[in-house]
Amino acid sequence: MTTTAITERIPGARALREAAAGGDPSVTVALLDSDIDLRHPCFGGADIGCLSIETDAPFGHDSPGAAQGTHVASLLCGQPDSGVTGLAPRCRIIGLPVYAEDARGQPVACHQPMLGRAIRRAAEAGADIITISGAPMAQPGPVDRFFDDAIRLCAKHDILIVAAAGNDGCRCEQVPAARACVLPVAGHDAAGRPLPFPAPATPYWSRRLLAPADAVPGAAPGGGVVQRQGTPAAAPLVSGAAALLLTLQIRHHAYTDLNAIRRLLLESAETCPAAAMRHAPRTLAGRLNAHRALAALAATGPAAASADDSPYHGPGPAPADAPVRLMDGTNFVMPRSPQNDSQTPRNG
């Protein structure tokens, strides 16, 4: 499989990337995963950097655990003619390492409070889209309230969270993928067949968008290309498509409405063939189809892009207009979006 084959496995991906000219530098995608080898040749010329959760100190050159982070980052912003071309090579990418890796280069689960801090940090850094492609959190019991605050913050300020939903057969609700405001991503193989699932057990499975997750080529730490599989590889492909759609939304409509883009991706999904769904839930949203998503976006305008009065679709009742109260007791208001409207004016 060549390194360009991944775009051929997403219908219309190449056309969408060309229509958006590879994305817009004003569109920011945050990647919450393991560390990233920023010296890989595919990142030469890319607007990419890593931040620690607590400070602005650069982070991401010599970390020993950078296999998955480097791979998924290249799927987003690998530069043309570098051996690994990402879906949105001109968008701004911020890596926030939250997962360590084991000896096999697999992420080690982190706790909800740490992930909540990383989500807030991404929001503070100006993220439009937050990709959580690492392993599910190893914390049983109720969802941590500070983590929940961070999810509510993003919903309130029209920041799209794209989260790997897993194909491990777990019947439990995985957070943050189970949250109604989050776009959960599952995987399919090279033939378009969903990777293994148990029988339907949770309502959020109907919102799972499928993307390629089998033998996905991407960058390897130290140079070169490696194939990885699983939903961590699928999630950044959906985020990349969302970033390109946001680029076109800004250029043609001069506003942002990521809640509308989330719905558009789900509504334009391609239904899996019946034979492929024999051993998978029939409530899956379907496979990512960039061609249909691009056509659907072209049919929308400022008046038609969002049917909701508010971008909030999170757990519990919609939050009031008051600022979201976060884990350190402060009230946090995004300066980019002072009004609680679903469509935010944007000068790209």
pLDDT in tens, 198-250: 444 454 455 678 999 888 999 999 999 999 988 889 999 999 999 999 999 99
Judge whether residue 61 has pLDDT over 80: no
Tell me the pTM. Answer: 0.81
Residue with tokens 């996905």, as numbered in its chain: 216
CATH fold of 5-299 reads Rossmann fold (3.40.50)
The pLDDT score that the predictor gives to residue 12 is 94
Q: State the CB neighbour count (10 A cutoff) for residue 285.
A: 23
Alpha helices in 125-257 (DSSP H): 145-156, 231-253
Of 30-34, 50-54, 233-237, 342-346, the poorest mean pLDDT is in 342-346
User: In 3D, which of 198, 196, 200, 238 has the Cα closest to residue 214?
Assistant: 196
Q: Which residue, among 10, 298, 282, 334, has the nearest Cα to 155 in the 3D structure?
A: 334
The percent of residues in the chain predicted with pLDDT above 90, rounded, is: 45
pLDDT of 304 over the 60 cut: no
Give the pLDDT band of residue 283 (cuts 50, 70, 90): very low
What's 159-190 look like in SS3?
A: CEEEEECCCCCCCCCCCCCCCCCCEEEEEECC
pLDDT tens for each residue of 140-172: 566 778 888 999 999 999 999 999 886 554 555
Residue 176: asked if its preceding bond is cis (omega within 30°), the reply is yes
Tokens of 191: 């033939």
CA torsion 145-150-152-157 (nearest 10°) is: 160
Residue with tokens 């919450």: 32
At 151, list the tokens.
Answer: 């999810």
Residue 107's DSSP bridge partners are: 101
Q: What are phi and psi of 55, to 5 degrees?
A: -135, 180
CA 246 to chain centroid, in Å, comes to 13
Closest CA to 340 of 316, 320, 313, 315: 320
